[in-house]
Amino acid sequence: MSTIILGIESSCDDTSASIIKNDTILSNVIAGQSVHEEYGGVVPELASRAHQQNIIPVVFKALKDAGITAEDVNAVAFTRGPGLLGSLLVGTSFAKGFALARNIPLIEIDHLQAHVLAHFIQEPDNPKKVPQFPFLCLLVSGGNSQIILVRNHLDMEIIGHTIDDAAGEAFDKCAKTIGLPYPGGPLIDKYAQQGNPDAFTFNKPKIPGLNYSFSGLKTSFLYFLRDQLKENPNFIDENIPSLCASLQKTIVEVLMGKLIRAAKETGIKEIALAGGVSANTGLQNAITTEAQKRGWQTYIPKLSYSTDNAAMIAITGYYKYMKGEFAGQDVVPYARNK
Ligand code: KG4
């Protein structure tokens, strides 16, 4: 028997709906929000309003693209958190209404767990290899940097996390200091490809265990620029590619250092990336190089499943549905990590 799940994602500035039939994606619709561009970051109040405008058309399109109607949906899964509370409330309220109207189960999803399970999304007629349990997942996004030990679809343990900024935040904040628009991560990646990664050095964090820290690197980058600009007011304009390449190299080395350590300590060789920063070419190259050296099997998600999307919410919903893990109508979102 097949199970059809409607997934809803509204944790930040993307309104997304997806239909999944068992583990196979039928549709994944994402409406971004250009309203934030002029502010250099996401404005929570504006995000909530845009979600309100987008949610119904996005769900309608997801149903239409999948070739089904609301009557065919067996359960509705939604992002409960972490994220912006006002944004989460829109998706949560919609999902509650849909479940109530259709008299079907409501399934609450942790956004970070969903990023990990994005690796299990199958596409019709194109079966792909999925990570074998247990595996390690480096989850790197604008809000999180974590190393997760994944024992099973619904059994995960965070064995390392950032104690301050996330890797994506480090990319975005440093990009801002050199005048690049938000989100700066993809632009740093682009410029880095023309620069010299060894041109400049920045302080790397010295944090014990498997945890990360990126706020010191951001400060080191800022002070370095301040000193250079005193000598040469055109320093940034003249060095953008090498600044980006050197910064990217440092962030990637920090991320890889702890991941290699986690792989050694656990003896696990199945290694996955997740989250928006997994699109970074420097990180992808580093993980591929380490895989060859260390005999790892690596899994890099497709871009459309690594940034925020509802397909990952729907697939997580599918695994929870199979275990009968449902939420009540009194469920409320949470803004911070559980
Ligand atoms: O997972 P995601 O789409 O959203 C949340 O954090 O919720 O991640 C967005 C983050 C941003 O910080 C963005 O700058 C970063 O991912 N990012 C990248 C690249 N593509 C996206 N960072 C570095 N290199 C990239 N190619």
Is 72 annotated to bind a ligand? Reply is no
Cα 296 to Cα 270, 286, 302, distances in angstroms: 6, 12, 19
Is 330 annotated to bind a ligand? Reply is no
The pTM of this model reads 0.94
Q: Are 280 and 252 in contact (CB under 8 A)?
A: yes
Please tell me the distance from the alpha carbon of residue 222 to that of residue 229, in angstroms, as a whole number: 11
pLDDT in tens, 214-262: 999 999 999 999 999 999 999 999 999 999 999 999 999 999 999 999 9
- How buried is residue 310: exposed, middle or buried, by Cβ count under 10 Å (0-12/13-18/19+)? buried
Which among 36, 277, 306 is the best mutation to test ligand 1's pocket, defined by most ligand atoms within 8 Å of the CB? 277
- 13 C-alpha vs ligand 1 centroid, how far in Å? 12
Is 282 annotated to bind a ligand? Reply is no
Is 152 annotated to bind a ligand? Reply is no
Is 185 annotated to bind a ligand? Reply is yes
Flag whether pLDDT at 181 surpasses 80: yes
Q: Are 315 and 23 in contact (CB under 8 A)?
A: yes
Q: Are 139 and 155 in contact (CB under 8 A)?
A: no
Alpha-carbon 220 to chain mean position: 26
Cα 230 to Cα 224, 225, 238, 317, 333, distances in angstroms: 10, 9, 14, 54, 48
Residue 145 φ/ψ, nearest 5 degrees: -140, 110
- Give all strands (DSSP E) within the chain, no chain letters: 4-9, 15-21, 24-31, 75-81, 106-110, 135-140, 145-152, 155-161, 270-274, 297-299
Flag whether pLDDT at 108 surpasses 80: yes
- 168 C-alpha vs ligand 1 centroid, how far in Å? 5
Nearest to 244 by CA among 225, 223, 216: 225
Q: What is the mean pLDDT of the chain?
A: 96
Residue 142 alpha carbon, nearest atom of ligand 1: 6
> Would you state the pLDDT for residue 157?
98
Which among 84, 112, 171, 273 is the best mutation to test ligand 1's pocket, defined by most ligand atoms within 8 Å of the CB? 171
What pLDDT band is residue 104 in, cutting at 50, 70 and 90? very high
Structural domains of the chain ordered from first start: 4-126+305-323 (3.30.420.40), 135-302 (3.30.420.40)
- What's the rounded mean pLDDT across residues 309-338? 96
What pLDDT band is residue 97 in, cutting at 50, 70 and 90? very high
Residue 115 alpha carbon, nearest atom of ligand 1: 1
Percent of the chain with pLDDT over 70: 100
Is 40 annotated to bind a ligand? Reply is no
pLDDT in tens, 24-74: 999 999 998 888 877 777 889 999 999 999 999 999 999 999 999 999 999
Cα 218 to Cα 26, 177, 238, 306, distances in angstroms: 41, 10, 20, 24
Please tell me the distance from the alpha carbon of residue 189 to that of residue 192, in angstroms, as a whole number: 5
pLDDT in tens, 188-203: 999 999 999 999 999 9
Residue 168 alpha carbon, nearest atom of ligand 1: 12
Q: Are 175 and 188 in contact (CB under 8 A)?
A: yes
Pocket of ligand 1 (CB under 6 A): 12, 141-143, 168, 171-172, 183-186, 189, 275-277, 279-280, 307-308
Flag whether pLDDT at 85 surpasses 90: yes
Which among 283, 303, 307 is the best mutation to test ligand 1's pocket, defined by most ligand atoms within 8 Å of the CB? 307
> Would you state the pLDDT for residue 142?
87
